[in-house]
Amino acid sequence: MRHKLCWMVIAVVLVSCGHKSAPTPEMGEQPPRLENLHYELTGPALKLEFVLRGDSAGVGYQIDRAEIDPICKCPTMWQRYFEQPPYPSQVGERQTRLLNLRTLDRTYLFRIRAFDAHGRLGAWSKPIRAQAVDLLKEHP
């Protein structure tokens, strides 16, 4: 009897310990995504424009930022810079976000991705390099 109980416990453990993975969209559902991403420097800010697509329950976006280290010329670790929660009214509408570049002597990298109300994440954009421009300084 004890031997049978041991095998039952092993069977329960093996069945309950399967490969765990992130939820995947059901057939026909579109994952959250950014479309028509456009960016430009506007003095001490980076202007991002894009359209959010995905679930009608709501799509939001996340922006991460890293700095370029002035000594090694390599990027620092990505950190969350801004997060806009998912709202149904944002789906399909043009979004604009201004990102403060803070100081003139720093170079930043930004990346952005969409996420929906169900927690599904879209792909990150390619890194966007930006450095503030001094609009008062005369350019030759």
pLDDT tens digit sequence for 105-140: 889 999 999 999 999 999 999 999 998 766 555 544
Residue whose entry in the numeric block shows the structure tokens 């939001």 = 60
Average pLDDT over residues 58-87: 95
Domain boundaries in the chain? 30-131
At residue 52, the pLDDT reads 97
- What was the pLDDT predicted at 85? 97
Name the residue among 94, 74, 106, 119 with its Cα closest to residue 34: 94
**pLDDT at residue 103, rounded to an integer:** 76
Fold observed for domain 30-131: Immunoglobulin-like (2.60.40)
Mean pLDDT of 59-83: 94
Q: Is the pLDDT of residue 28 over 60?
A: no
Burial of 9 (0-12, 13-18, 19+ CB in 10 A): exposed
Tell which wins on pLDDT, 22 or 75. 75
pTM of the model as a whole: 0.74
Give every CB contact of residue 81 below 8 A, 6+ residues apart in sequence.
Answer: 63, 64, 65, 99, 110
Q: Which residue has the tokens 């300084």?
A: 137
How many residues in the chain?
A: 140
